[in-house]
């Protein structure tokens, strides 16, 4: 018997986390500036009272478009009232899991995947952080291994992995091709990781992409994933958060899974939710679909951490019940219309750009950055200063590409998740601000 006056470790000594001082060696994780960029518009309004302003920065259909339709929120409230306010399971509820599989994805039981492969989460960042932890633990079982992302990734792809003990690797890519992944670049990245004494715990494939808006054909997504798995990447995660916001068919998980063997399916994950396609940014609902062993691992840990709220699950279930195309049309239709209009305007402007699907266009404005530089080299070095200038002096907020990575320093992200007239007005104001730099 151990005396009650003796301290006792909660786990056996052989299971203790090794002592490391790496936490004090880590870089400070900066707060995301995505939530601050449009605040500079207030400066413009102070100087131009009553003037029109344009926010082409945030991809938030809850702010720039009608958001989640009222009937869906009312149905979700009804579900909440019927369900009550007791604890649910860390994965959500059985009804939610079933709705994701049967009503949303309409997944064939022949796939071998069903409700037990679904994890509900409190939004995309929660799902990603839980996925990164599973990649590290179930991949090579080591902290400090790498998560591979694109050359110019979404800001939180840089810092989410780092915060849970993974390092981030920017994959080689050509800006002329939108920094698109290639099979050779993936293999080269694996070799690079090995030269640093590290493994690659996961690869993230985002389609449509954030920030560039680039889309990746189904066949290419499959080829990239297989190349990664063959090269020794532990897991591949497909982030399809924007896939409904296109003028094409959304991704089909049934047909997609058929490209992978049962063994390969143990190492792939899928992320989707209602943030973008339903304008539910503040509802915080997302789901992760993966091998049952992965879901069980994450669920056990979630039971001691973050559990999704029932109301967030109910909003998704109400939308799935209605039929998701119908539920999301108030976001999808204006965004698709704006994409058509913006493509035309970009073609006429002569700006180098990427505009695939989703919410965003990525534009090269390097020539305007150079226009601010003196012969001695003074002036702006990248688009960070440009973003503040455009907001404060021309009433148009965009996201500097420099926020995503140094390789995006000559670029800006322009969100067209707005009605057509707002998108057209925002682009006109953008050109006015850019051209003013050359005068």
- 39: pLDDT strictly greater than 90: no
Q: What's the CA gap between 167 and 29, in Å, rounded?
A: 12
Which CATH class name applies to 70-325? alpha beta
* Token couple for 297: 């691992």
Lowest-confidence region among 12-21, 112-121, 368-377: 368-377
- 35: pLDDT strictly greater than 80: no
Question: What are the pLDDT digits (tens) for 188-246?
Answer: 999 999 999 999 999 999 999 999 999 999 999 999 999 999 999 999 999 999 999 99
Residue 439 confidence (pLDDT): 79
Q: What's the CA gap between 301 and 308, in Å, rounded?
A: 13
How many CB atoms neighbour CB 363 within 10 A? 24
CATH 3.40.640.10 spans which residues of the chain?
70-325
Closest CA relative to residue 337, chosen from 398, 416, 274, 428: 416
Residue 55 confidence (pLDDT): 95
- 76: pLDDT strictly greater than 80: yes
Asked whether the beta carbons of 166 and 199 are under 8 A apart, the reply is no
Question: What are the pLDDT digits (tens) for 339-380?
Answer: 999 999 999 999 999 999 999 999 999 999 999 998 887 899
DSSP 100: I
pTM for the structure as a whole? 0.97
Closest CA relative to residue 273, chosen from 283, 263, 259: 283
pLDDT band at 163 (very low <50, low <70, confident <90, very high): very high
- 34: pLDDT strictly greater than 80: no
Strand partners, 167: 146
CATH 3.90.1150.10 spans which residues of the chain?
33-59+328-436
Our CA dihedral for 75, 76, 81, 84, rounded to 10 degrees, sits at 150
Which CATH class name applies to 33-59+328-436? alpha beta
pLDDT band at 49 (very low <50, low <70, confident <90, very high): very high
Q: For tokens 């029932």, what's the residue?
A: 310
- 169: pLDDT strictly greater than 80: yes
Residue 209 confidence (pLDDT): 96
Mean per-residue pLDDT of the chain: 96
**Distances in whole angstroms, Cα of residue 319 to Cα of each of 246, 274, 314:** 18, 9, 9
Kind of pairing between the strands at 360-364 and 353-354: antiparallel
* Token couple for 394: 């021309």
Over residues 371-394, mean pLDDT: 93
- 18: pLDDT strictly greater than 80: yes
Closest CA relative to residue 359, chosen from 327, 389, 381, 328: 328
Closest CA relative to residue 164, chosen from 141, 133, 187, 134: 133
Element at 428 (helix H, strand E): helix 420-436
* DSSP string for 184-225: HHHHHHHHHHHHTT--EEEEEEESS-TTT-----HHHHHHHH
């Amino acid at each position: 018997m151990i005396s009650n006056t003796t301290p006792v470790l909660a786990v056996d000594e052989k299971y203790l986390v090794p002592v490391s001082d790496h936490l004090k060696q880590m870089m400070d994780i900066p707060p995301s500036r995505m939530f601050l960029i449009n605040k500079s518009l207030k400066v413009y309004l102070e100087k131009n009272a009553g003037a029109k302003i344009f926010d082409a920065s945030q991809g938030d259909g809850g702010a720039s478009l009608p958001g989640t339709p009222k009937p869906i929120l009312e149905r979700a409230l009804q579900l909440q009232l019927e369900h009550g306010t007791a604890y649910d399971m860390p994965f959500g509820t059985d009804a939610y899991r079933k709705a994701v599989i049967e009503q949303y994805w309409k997944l064939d039981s022949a796939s071998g995947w069903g409700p037990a492969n679904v994890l509900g989460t409190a939004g995309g960042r929660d799902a990603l952080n839980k996925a990164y932890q599973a990649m590290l633990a179930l991949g090579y079982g080591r902290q400090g291994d790498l998560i591979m992302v694109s050359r110019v990734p979404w800001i939180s792809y840089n810092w989410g992995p780092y915060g849970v003990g993974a390092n981030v690797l920017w994959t080689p890519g050509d800006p002329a091709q939108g920094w698109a992944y290639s099979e050779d670049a993936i293999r080269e990245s694996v070799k690079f990781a090995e030269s640093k004494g590290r493994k690659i715990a996961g690869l993230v494939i985002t389609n449509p992409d954030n920030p560039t808006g680039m889309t990746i054909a189904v066949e290419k997504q499959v080829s990239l994933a297989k190349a990664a798995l063959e090269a020794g990447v532990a897991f591949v995660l497909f982030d399809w958060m924007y896939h409904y916001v296109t003028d094409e068919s959304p991704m089909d998980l049934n047909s997609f899974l058929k490209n992978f063997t049962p063994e390969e399916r143990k190492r792939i994950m899928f992320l989707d939710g209602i943030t973008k396609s339903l304008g539910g940014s503040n509802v915080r609902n997302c789901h992760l679909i993966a091998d049952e062993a992965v879901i069980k691992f994450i669920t056990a840990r979630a039971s001691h951490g973050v559990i999704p709220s029932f109301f967030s699950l109910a909003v998704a279930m109400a939308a799935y019940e209605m039929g998701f195309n119908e539920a999301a049309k108030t976001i999808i239709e204006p965004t698709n219309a704006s994409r058509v209009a913006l493509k035309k305007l970009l073609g006429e402007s002569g700006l180098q750009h990427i505009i695939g699907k989703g919410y965003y266009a990525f534009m090269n404005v390097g020539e305007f950055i150079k226009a601010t530089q003196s012969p001695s080299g003074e002036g702006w070095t990248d688009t960070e200063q440009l973003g503040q200038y455009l907001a404060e002096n021309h009433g148009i907020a965009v996201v500097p590409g420099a926020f995503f990575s140094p390789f995006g320093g000559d670029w800006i992200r322009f969100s067209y998740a707005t009605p057509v007239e707002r998108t057209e007005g925002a682009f006109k104001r953008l050109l006015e601000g850019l051209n003013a730099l050359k005068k």
